[in-house]
Structure 1
Amino acid sequence: MSSSPSARVRPRRSALYIPGSNPRALEKARTLDADVLILDLEDAVAPEAKEDARRTVVEVVSARPYGGREVLVRINGLDTPWGEDDLKAVAALPADGIVLPKVNSESDVHRVEAALPAAAPALWCMMETPLGVLQALSIARSSARLCGLIMGTSDLAKDLRAAHTPDREPFLTALGLCLLAARATGLAILDGVHLDLQDDDGFHQSCLQGARLGFDGKTLIHPRTIATANACFSPSAEDVDRARIIVDAFENARKEGKGVVVVDGRLVEALHVEEAVRLLALNDAIAARKPA
């Protein structure tokens, strides 16, 4: 069993994109129960509003209004007219992370990293191009600053010429490759957005699928979807109870010099205990996260 399987466990069940050009939405976010807020300077902001959005986000994040929520800022790409200024501005903020759009290779990460001071926020990479997905493992290994990967299924669908289907079958290869890369390197990973805000059942099924695949949470485009994402990516009461039973039974067995134990007719080994400890730590972290 790992010496610290619960290390760095942080709830990321719901990650809401908020346009940096919308002061009202940025203010409302103070009252929302999202685990992660992604303040967006890229896709959600029109070209003519980019500079105003940057100034607004700098002012808002500097005031630290979001309590225990994880605050990320998605910048524009460095190959755009706004990217370098975005990076300089965000690097000096008390944010938790900088989200890099359309990462295609580890060299994209190295280019950003080279421009950052030592005390800059962590990095997150958007996985939203075919090349980026095929380079997922090298991207995930590219920097000690890297905290996680975020699926960008909307842009990916365009490049793949793939349809958005209820079962998301066209995306399973990309989702799986990025998930494997994240888990192989100890990174967090967030699932892509569900675009149809009128399709409550489809959104719920997408969240359940993402949780079953192993994602840490879901990226969102509207506050009304936060509660569903939080519920789907939270451990159930039954899961928590079973995890406690597994941990207690294994500890008792170890005191007796045994390396394995049977719980409810199933063999429990150290690997099962490690996952149980992680689940309990996540449950505790969810309980401890308070709205601002």
Structure 2
Amino acid sequence: MAANVRPRRSVLYMPGSNARALEKAKSIPADALILDLEDAVSPDAKAQAREQVCKAIADGGYGKREMIIRINGLDTPWGADDMDAVAKAGPDAILVPKINDAATVEKLVEAMDEAGAPAATALWCMMETPIGILNAKEIAAASNRVAVWVMGTNDIAKDTGAQHTADRLPMITSLGLCMLAARAYGIQILDGVYNDIKDEEGFRAICRQGLELGFDGKTLIHPSQVGPCNEVFSPTEAQLESAARIVAGFEEAQREGKGVVTVDGRMIENLHVEQAKKRLAMAEAIKELQAA
């Protein structure tokens, strides 16, 4: 990917027990797929789902999409077997639910190493419990193997009593605390799911809010949500044209030894150049992903 940037605009959950869904996922234009062994799989189908998702990773065919497997927690009857099998399968990342503290992260990293997970396999964390959110800073600092946090907004609502509202004001504190901790430690962070798959207008509004709050993308529960999500979380043409002018204007000013840089009537500082370069790199990475 361009400049080591990895698009995670749309990250779609796929039930690990549904072989047809796993095959269909190969043609869905999501940036990343989460093959789920947890919530989407009934207890009597856990073993079969585990076998299917590991085979799907081994067989490939998903292009350059990032492939993640969500396992059951290590404190469940299926967690240890999930970790052992999934680590050996070597997906891009292993997603674990209900991360409550730094000790849990350390235990998971140790389990990944013992099970033989490749060094390139990252650990993703579900941030979805009140105690986990209160411990966000310690969790973020626990291991360099943690690459991404996923907000579990349904569980946050359940455990706090917060309601799902259009502006999400009842859970804005939870979202904000996790955002701050993730950014402080260089972790990417994904917004939670939107439950009403028929409400495209509401979904777009929540995507825009997630973008404005600083999320890198959003987790999804239905393929119909992928297109609108990609659109909202992609840089616009106007933004890219502005970014290109900022980078070019700054470089020209440096060559000429100018101390003050203005582009489109605005004073440009290093932080603006950094943001512009990041936006251009993301656009290039999206093109590469779409072309694969």
Using the size of structure 1 for normalisation, the TM-score is 0.96
- What RMSD in Å do the two structures reach over aligned CA positions? 1.2
Structure 1 residue 64, shift from structure 2 partner: 1.5
Structure 1 residue 291, shift from structure 2 partner: 6.3
1:291 to 1:267, Cα distance in 2 relative to 1, 3 A: closer
The answer to whether the 8 Å contact 2:105/2:139 transfers is: yes
Q: Name the counterpart of 1:233.
A: 233
Greater fraction helix: 2
Higher relative contact order (CA 8 A, sep 6+): 1
1:108 to 104, 124, 140: 104
Structure 1 residue 102, shift from structure 2 partner: 0.3
Matched, 1:190 2:186: no
Q: Name the counterpart of 1:247.
A: 247
The answer to whether the 8 Å contact 2:98/2:127 transfers is: yes
- 1:154-169 alignment, distance < 5 Å: 154-169=154-169
Q: Name the counterpart of 1:3.
A: none
The answer to whether the 8 Å contact 1:193/1:220 transfers is: yes
- 1:57-72 alignment, distance < 5 Å: 57-72=53-68
In the TM superposition, what whole-angstrom CA distance separates every residue of 1:92-127 from its partner, at most 9, and x where no partner exists? 113100001000001111111111226251100000
- 1:114-193 alignment, distance < 5 Å: 114-117=110-113, 119-120=118-119, 121-193=121-193
Q: Name the counterpart of 2:49.
A: 53
2:78 to 79, 82, 85: 82
Aligned residues, how many?
A: 287
1:12 and 1:202 mapped to 2: Cα distance? 21
1:10 and 1:71 mapped to 2: Cα distance? 12
1:248 and 1:103 mapped to 2: Cα distance? 44
Structure 1 residue 137, shift from structure 2 partner: 1.5
5+ long unaligned stretches in structure 2: none
The answer to whether the 8 Å contact 1:146/1:187 transfers is: yes
Structure 1 residue 251, shift from structure 2 partner: 0.2
2:223 and 2:192 mapped to 1: Cα distance? 15
| Worse-matched range after superposition: 259-268 or 158-167 | 259-268
5+ long unaligned stretches in structure 1: 1-5
State the identity as a percent.
55
| Worse-matched range after superposition: 152-161 or 111-120 | 111-120
2:6 and 2:182 mapped to 1: Cα distance? 15
2:212 and 2:237 mapped to 1: Cα distance? 16
The answer to whether the 8 Å contact 2:90/2:118 transfers is: no
Matched, 1:276 2:276: yes
